[in-house]
A = this chain, B = another copy of it.
Amino acid sequence: MIFKYARGKIMNYPNGQRNNVQQQPSKQGYSNRGMTLEEDINTTNTFYLDTDKAIIHKKPTPIQIVNVHYPKRSAAVITEGYFKQASTTDYNGIYKCRYIDFEAKETKNKTRFPMSNMHEHQIKHMKSIIKHGGISFLIIRFTVYNETYYLPAESLFSFWDYQFDNGRKSIPYDTIKSEGYLIPFHYQARVNYLAVIDKLYF
């Protein structure tokens, strides 16, 4: 897990010397050992940023701050806060002049992606993004298969809307395999979703 924190972090070594943490972890460090989808996407976005390919960030988790303590001579401390539900998606930014906006979810399910992973207001937000000319999609990882898919927002919408007619509250794995795009693994861009965007839009 060294890679996630590796970028420019300074730490003390046992011999007392301060060194930059190794920027290139050993090859096995790249195998998928307990890395969450979020960690992989953050790593990918950092690589895109460092190579000036795209500017895409994860939005901070919104926190409802209730109490803050201001100690003398040190930083303000939040002593009571609550997690709020995000009103939009988790990631946005710019790539080749286009506005990019997406959500990422992983599931342990083997046969389907349960729609309960998504919220009504996120779908509404994504529909709005498409309408205004942005590129929106969902990244879904099936952890059991270690497969990560790019599902265009348009496919997601049809399943989302369909559930109210039909009652099916999930997207079958096979459908995601056929309507979605397997996201290629790249040595530094572990979830190389821009490769799919290139194929679909450029």
Binding site for B on A (CB under 8 A): 52, 54-55, 57, 59-63, 65, 75-83, 86-88, 92-99, 101, 125, 128-129, 131-134
Complex alpha-carbon distance, A57 and B129, angstroms: 12
B94 in contact with A83 (CB, 8 Å):
no
Do the beta carbons of A60 and B63 come within 8 Å of each other?
A: yes
Residues of B within 8 A of A82 (CB): 75-78
Q: Are A132 and B75 in contact (CB under 8 A)?
A: no
Question: How long is the Cα–Cα vector from A81 to B95 in the complex, in angstroms?
Answer: 33
Q: A60-B62, A99-B99 are in contact. Are A54 and B132 (CB under 8 A)?
A: yes
With A55-B128, A59-B59, A88-B57: A77-B80 Cβ-Cβ less than 8 Å: yes
A10 to chain B, nearest CB (A): 17
Cβ contact within 8 Å between B81 and A63: yes
> What CA separation (Å) do A173 and B131 show in the bound complex?
39
